[in-house]
Copies of this chain bind each other. A is one copy, B any other.
C-alpha cells in the first residue's frame, strides 16, 4: 500500500470552534467538506484527543472559519499546536461572536452549524453540521492545505487525520532547529537570535536543535 496517495487529497485550513461553558474553544481542521446543499450541511473530522471534540458533542454546535492565504499565521500556531484544555486560545487572536460562539476575525468568513449527526472512526469523530448561518468577513483566497504545507512549510499537528510520522524532522548533515510549539523546522548553521517562527510567531528561545 502506498499511503502517499492519501497526501494527494485536497483540503482547506479551518478553525473549528465550540462553546465550553462561558468560554469558547477551538482547533485547526483540514478535513471538512460540504455534504449537501438543500439544506446545506458540512462534515468535519475531529480527533477524540482534541478538547474541542467533547465541547462540540456537549454543546451540539460548532463554527467553521475558513482561513485565507493572508490570515495571520499565528492563528495556526495557537489553534493547531496548543490545547484549549489549558489555554484560552481566543485571548491570543482577534475574535468575533458567531451566534454565541467565538471565532477568528482574520478569515475569509465563517459558517455556524448545529450538529445533526455523528459518525465514529477509531480516532476521529465526523460531525455532520446543518448550517444555521454563514457570514463573509475578509474574503480573499482560501488557504489550501497544500499552500500551508508547500508555501508556508507547515506541518500536520499530531491529531490531524493527515498526520504522518515521516513528516517529523530527521537530523542530517546540516543543522536543524525545530520550533517546540508548532514543529516548524529551520535549517542553517545557526538560528538568528531575533528569529521568529513563521508558523506560530514564537521566538528563538522556543527552538531547539535536533
User: Which residues in A have some Cβ–Cβ distance to B below 8 Å?
Assistant: 1-6, 8-12, 30-43, 45, 66, 108-111, 116-124, 126, 128, 131, 133-136, 142-146, 161-164
A34-B162, A37-B123 given; 11 more Cβ-contact pairs under 8 Å: A6-B40, A8-B12, A9-B142, A10-B142, A10-B143, A10-B145, A43-B45, A43-B119, A43-B126, A119-B128, A126-B126
With contacts A43-B45, A117-B119 known, is A131 near B6, CB below 8 A? yes
In the complex, what's the smallest C-beta–C-beta distance from A191 to chain B, in angstroms?
Answer: 31
Chain B residue nearest in CB terms to A112: B1
Chain B residue nearest in CB terms to A31: B33
CB–CB B161/A126 < 8 A: no
- Choose one: B37, B117, B161; the contact of A34 (CB below 8 Å): B161
CB–CB B35/A45 < 8 A: yes
Chain B residue nearest in CB terms to A32: B9
Q: Give the oligomeric copy count.
A: 2
- Choose one: B1, B120, B121, B134; the contact of A6 (CB below 8 Å): B134
With contacts A35-B31, A109-B2, A121-B35 known, is A10 near B8, CB below 8 A? no
CB–CB A37/B162 < 8 A: yes
- Choose one: B120, B128, B161, B164; the contact of A33 (CB below 8 Å): B161
- Choose one: B1, B12, B36, B144; the contact of A161 (CB below 8 Å): B36
